[in-house]
Amino acid sequence: MMSNPKRLHPVAAVSTFLKELKDLIFPFIILMIVGKGGKGPTDIWDYLPYITATAVIGFIFFSGIIRWLRFTYRVEEEELRIEYGLFVKKKRYIPFERIQSLNFSEGILQRIFGLVKVKVETAGSSLGEAEAELTAISKEEAKNLEEIIASSKRKESKEQELNIQEEQAKAPQEVLYKAAFSDLLIMGVTSGGAGVVIAAILAFLSQFQELIPYEKIFHELEHVVKNGIVFVIVLVVLALIVAWGIAVIGMLLKYANFTLKKVDEDLIITRGLIEKRQITVPLKRIQGVTMIENLIRQPFGYATVQIESAGGSITDTDSASVIILPLIKKSEIKGILKDIVPEYEFNLAYSSLPKVALTRYIFRQLLLVIVPIVVISWLLWPYGLWSILLLIPMALLGYWRYKDAGWNICGNQLSLKFRLFSKQTMILKKNRIQAMEYSQSWWQRRKNIVSLKATIKSGGLGKTGRVVDIDKQAALKIAEWFKPTDKVHRPNKEVEIEPSE
């Protein structure tokens, strides 16, 4: 047992110091730029920014050490007891029965010293951060803590505990899925993460407007564009290739050694090369299953599968929508998930949208680019007229969104298909749906169609599936299906489709 108070590894103090220092990098840069003026320091006041920065860094350093010294944890009387605080000492006692899961992760500092960071999640932490964090403890202590909590929660009687231990000794952990390198490579190549990388680089560079002469650079680029359009095209293509390569490498590092295991009534997902992560999801907290197919993977029959969990928080989305199959053939999904969610049906025939919805889907997509096309054509006349070609992919996207939308009712299961850019198929059980919403605009009322939204609990914000322009009769059928059958538990209410817009 861990009844004696223990401190975190000293790396915790270093980690806290670096984290707070990272948050102050940009304020420090601004302080230096504002305070330096145009010349070198001439009097004591010119050194004020440097003195202030040094004082702040010193305070962060010493306060981090004090926090580390005052932070202790122990297990006592079926509780995880934590004491902490910089000036005022605080105590937090977390009963074992409230602890839903322990999630492990390993940053660079933790891996160097063979440590892990442990996040303690409870049912009460779904709308905020984790209930508690042990920033740096040894792997042995983390495993010991996990075993103590699990053993205590299982212990209804000594006989039952012995039976469980015997079963665990006989039955090893069941590995349901292990991602091959080739699958992860395909996942990275088809992820479309280049745009995210470019956006991140631009956001980073925007923080240095005072240091980088953007106007001069743009002025020089203007001459280059006028005199070498081919060179510019090659440069843009090379930039996209580099960004795409960075995105692929990032994906490989994030999902390296991805393994999905089932242990008792829990799913355990481990992944990561530089930062190792372990996520534990109790099967009883699964609220729904979502299959995601982007435009590149869909023609080849590949999909990503994630489960929506009642755990997690607004700030920790990894514990809410949890990817359990990063990339897999759709034909193989049912075989793997039969041991996880045997009550779910996957190979279903979906009802499509009415034909009157097709023009609305295409028109909505064209509407997004009409104004940009007009502006570009006017500013870059006559070359800007080439932007009219944007209408073609947007019309195709509208058509794909229409074709990929649909719904299905099978017993107590509702399945919804819809597409933003990636096609999503949400499979929901009736007793897990938190809210069903119907809306109808003036335009939809003329065509006798409706928009449908179904929401389940997923982390702190919930997860919503939305199918636009469904036939009104189909919407009424789904509304009738969603009505409770137990009148004592909840009275039936006639579902009204409210106008919107």
pLDDT at res. 409: 92
Residues 494 and 432 in one domain: yes
Residues 387 and 250 in one domain: no
pLDDT: is 494 or 150 the higher one? Answer: 150
| Residue 274 counted as domain residue | no
CA-based radius of gyration for the chain: 28
pLDDT at res. 406: 92
The residue among 406, 448, 103 whose CA lies nearest residue 266 is 103
Burial class (CB in 10 A: 0-12, 13-18, 19+), 87: exposed
Residue 171 pLDDT > 50: no
- Number of other CB atoms surrounding residue 170 within 10 Å: 7
Q: What average pLDDT does this structure show over 314-320? A: 52
Number of domains in the chain: 4
- Sorted by sequence, the CB contacts under 8 Å of residue 241 that are 6+ apart come out as none
Q: What average pLDDT does this structure show over 428-444? A: 88
Cα separation values, 336 from 232, 261, 360, 388, Å: 48, 11, 38, 46
Residues 341 and 438 in one domain: yes
Q: What average pLDDT does this structure show over 5-32? A: 78
Mean pLDDT rounded to a whole number for the chain: 77
Q: What average pLDDT does this structure show over 128-157? A: 78
**Omega within 30 of 0 (cis) for the link into 382:** yes
| Residue 177 counted as domain residue | no
Residue 206 pLDDT > 60: no
Among 10-24, 304-318, 345-359, 364-378, the least confident range: 304-318
pLDDT in tens, 354-404: 999 999 999 999 999 898 888 888 888 888 888 899 899 999 999 999 999
Dist CA 173 CA 264 (whole Å): 8
Residues 342 and 369 in one domain: no
Residues 24 and 148 in one domain: yes
Residue 229 pLDDT > 70: no
Residues 304 and 453 in one domain: yes
Domain edge (last residue) among 364, 382, 401:
401
Residues 106 and 151 in one domain: yes
pLDDT in tens, 40-80: 555 666 667 677 778 888 888 888 888 888 888 988 878 88
Structural domain including 15 reads 6-168
Among 82-86, 187-191, 310-314, 487-491, the least confident range: 487-491
Domain edge (last residue) among 344, 373, 401:
401
Residues 369 and 318 in one domain: no
Sign of CA dihedral 106, 110, 115, 117: negative
| Residue 86 counted as domain residue | yes
pLDDT: is 489 or 29 the higher one? Answer: 29
- For 95, the 3-state DSSP assignment is strand
AA letter at 403? K
Dist CA 31 CA 11 (whole Å): 29
* Percentage of the chain lying above the pLDDT 70 cut: 74
| Residue 265 counted as domain residue | no
Residue 162 pLDDT > 60: no
Among 172-181, 309-318, 437-446, 449-458, the least confident range: 309-318
pLDDT: is 27 or 85 the higher one? Answer: 85
Residues 189 and 149 in one domain: no
Give me 488's structure tokens.
């004592």
Dist CA 163 CA 58 (whole Å): 55
Residues 17 and 138 in one domain: yes
Q: Which residues pair with 116 in a beta bridge?
A: 137
Q: Length of the chain, please?
A: 501
pLDDT at res. 183: 82
Residues 120 and 81 in one domain: yes
| Residue 41 counted as domain residue | yes
Q: What's the DSSP call for residue 351? A: B
Residue 22 pLDDT > 80: no
| Residue 140 counted as domain residue | yes
- Sorted by sequence, the CB contacts under 8 Å of residue 246 that are 6+ apart come out as 194, 197
| Residue 268 counted as domain residue | no
Residues 116 and 231 in one domain: no
Residue 497 pLDDT > 70: no
